[in-house]
Amino acid sequence: MPSQDGSLKAITANRLRDGVVVFLGADAAWVEAFADAALFAAADADAALAAAKAQAEGEQFGVDVYAFDVKTENGVPVPVKMRERIRALGPSVRLDLGKQAAA
């Protein structure tokens, strides 16, 4: 749910087992697709991030857990920064690889 200023956050990490980029989804489940990521109002993101970090560390599931900005374009949530766009889609030099190839 967006905050009053419309800003949203999502949470990401790298899975320890294989290094795959994952996103925090509904019910604190980690998902591989950004489309399945839970979106948080900026005011709620800090608490969600703290819980996600504790979960990932406690279960030895993931590393580099952090929140990032999300905006809505044509009704679809997209990461604001290129780094997270690439993490969500896969390599930018080979569109036949990564998550964009599966779409």
Residue 54, both tokens: 């504790």
Q: Which of the pair, 21 or 3, is modelled with greater confidence? A: 21
* pLDDT tens digits, one per residue of 10-37: 999 999 999 999 999 999 999 999 999 9
Query: Can you tell me the distance from the alpha carbon of 103 to that of 19, in angstroms, rounded to the nearest whole number?
Result: 21
Asked if pLDDT for residue 60 goes beyond 70, the answer is: yes
**Contacts with 20 (C-beta within 8 Å, 6 or more apart), sequence order:** 14, 32
Three-state DSSP state, 97: coil
Query: Can you tell me the distance from the alpha carbon of 61 to that of 76, in angstroms, rounded to the nearest whole number?
Result: 28
* pLDDT tens digits, one per residue of 61-81: 999 999 999 999 999 999 999
Pairing mode, strands 62-73 and 40-41: unpaired
* pTM for this model (two decimals): 0.85
pLDDT of residue 96: 76
